Structure 1
Amino acid sequence: MTGRDGGADIGPIGEFDPVVILVRPQLGENIGTTARAMANGGLFHLRLVAPRDGWPQERAWSASSGAHRILDAATVYPTVDEAVADLHHVFATCPRPRHIIKPIMTARGAASELRVHAMRGLRCGLLFGPERAGLDNEDMARADTLIRYPLNPDFMSLNLAQAVLVMAYEWFLTEDTTLPRELMTNETQIATKGDLENFMTHLLRELDDSGFLHNEQKRPGMVRNLRHFFTRGEVTEQELRTLHGVVSELVRARKAGRTPKP
C-alpha cells in the first residue's frame, strides 16, 4: 500500500503508555487524523474495533501527516471486550449524560491518573466511540471510569481527532516542563537592575541638563513614572544599549544646535 514509506520519527513508545481504542470508526481519514493527534501528545498505541470500512485503509495514511508508524503498528479487534482484555484500567469518553453510575473525571484529571497507573506498570486504555453517535451503553459498561470534557455546555461538538487530541495534550502535560511564561530574547539577555539603573542615571542627567525636569515640585513624580515605565517589563540589554544611543544622539543634536536626522 502506498504512503507507508517514511513518516515522522514519533519518538520512544512506552510499554505502559495509554492505548487509544477507536470503537467502530467510520472513515479512514478520521483514523489518520487521530494518529496525527496522538503523535502530537506522545500517545503511540492505537487499536481499532470493527472499523466500518475494514483495515488497512489508504486514506488513513494520507491523512496522518507523517504519523505512519502509529498506523503501521495499529491492531484490529472484532469487539471491545477483546480490545481491552489485556488492560488493567479502561477509561471511556462520554460526551453526553447517560444513566450510568461510574466515576467521571475531566480530561486533566484522567491524564494524571493515567500517568500514575503507567508508573505503577499498569496498562490502560482510552475508548473513543464512532464519529456520529459516540460510545453506546454496552461499550461504556466495559470502562472503569468515564471522561467528560468541560466545554461550552451549549456547544460540545468535537470530531474524533479533536477528542483524541484533548486527551493526548493533557497526557503530554503531565510530564511537560515548559515554562508557562518566558521572554524570547534571541542573542541578548534580560538586563539586570544595575544595567537599568545605569541607563536611568544617564537619562535623568540629560533630562536635567535639557531642562525637561526643571519643575522641582513635579520632578519626583516624573522620575517615578519613568522608572515605572522601564521596570514594568523585562527590558533586555540590547534594548538598553539602543536607548543609551538614542539619548546620546539627542544630546549631541541639542549641543550642536541641529535637528536629529530622521
Structure 2
Amino acid sequence: MNDVIKEYIESNIIAPLFLAGNSLEILKTIPDNTIDCCITSPPYWNKRQYANGGIGLEQDYKEYMASLVSIFMEVYRVLKPTGSFWLNIGDSYKDKNLLNIPWRIAIKLTDNGWILRNTVIWNKVKGGLDNSTDKLRNIYEPVFHFVKQSKGYYYDIDSVRNSPKSTKVVNGAVVSATGVSGVRYKRKIELSTELTEEQKINAYAELEKILKQVQCGEISDFRMVIKGAQRTTHSDSEKVSGRAKELREKGFYFLKYNPKGSKPEVTPKS
C-alpha cells in the first residue's frame, strides 16, 4: 500500500488528501472496504482533446467503456458496504448515432455486482449551443447512485425531505395540507355498492383514525383507495401489488404521507 495513503487512513485526519496519477493504479493501492463515498464525473468519450492523453480519447467507445468499468470495479473493492458511489456521465454520438454510453456502463456495472438505486436526471436548463437542424438539443445528463448491498448502506433521507405544509381545521373538520378532509371519502363509502356493511363500518372507523393522525401530526397527508371507487395503486393483481390483497380483504386501504415531508425528486434543477 502507498505509504501516504496508509498514514492518512491510520491517522483518521479529517482533511483533503489529493493524489495525482493514474486513477486505476492509485485505486489499487487503497485497501478493501475503506472508502465511505465516491463521487466522480470522468471525461466523456470523444468530447475533448487532452494534451497529456487519458480516458476519453480512445478510438472506440467500447474501449472507453471498458477502461471506466475497470476503474469502477476497483471503486467497488475499496468502497465500504455502507458506502455509495455517485457517477455523472454524459453521452456521445458516432456517425449521428446516440450511443447510450451512460446506460451501457450502468448495465455493465450492475452485471458485475453493483446495485443501481437511482438514476437522477441533471436538468441543465439552458445547456450548450446546438446548431443541428435534424435533432433536438440534449440538455440533461444522468447521475447514477450505486451501492454494494441492497440494505444497510448509509442514507439520511430525513435530512433532505421537503417540509410538509400545515394541516388546518376548517369549520371543525380536519383538512390536510392538500385539502383532504375525509368528506369525499365518507360519501364514497356511503354510496359504495361493492363494500359489505361490515366493510363500510370498518372503513368509517379507520378513516376517523387517519384524520386524528393528521390532526396530531403523526402523518402529514393521506389518500384513501376504496374498492370500486378509485383506481388501485400500481395494479389489481395480487402477484404484482400487496395493496390488491388488502383491497380484496378489507375493501379499502390508505396511502400515508410521512410527517417529515416528501422525498426530493430525482430530476433536480441545475
TM-score by length of 1: 0.24
Structure 1 or 2: more helix by fraction: 1
Instruction: With a CA cutoff of 8 Å and minimum separation of 6, indicate the structure with the bigger relative contact order.
Output: 1
TM-score by length of 2: 0.23
Structure 1 or 2: more strand by fraction: 2
Structure 1 or 2, whichever has the larger Rg, is 1
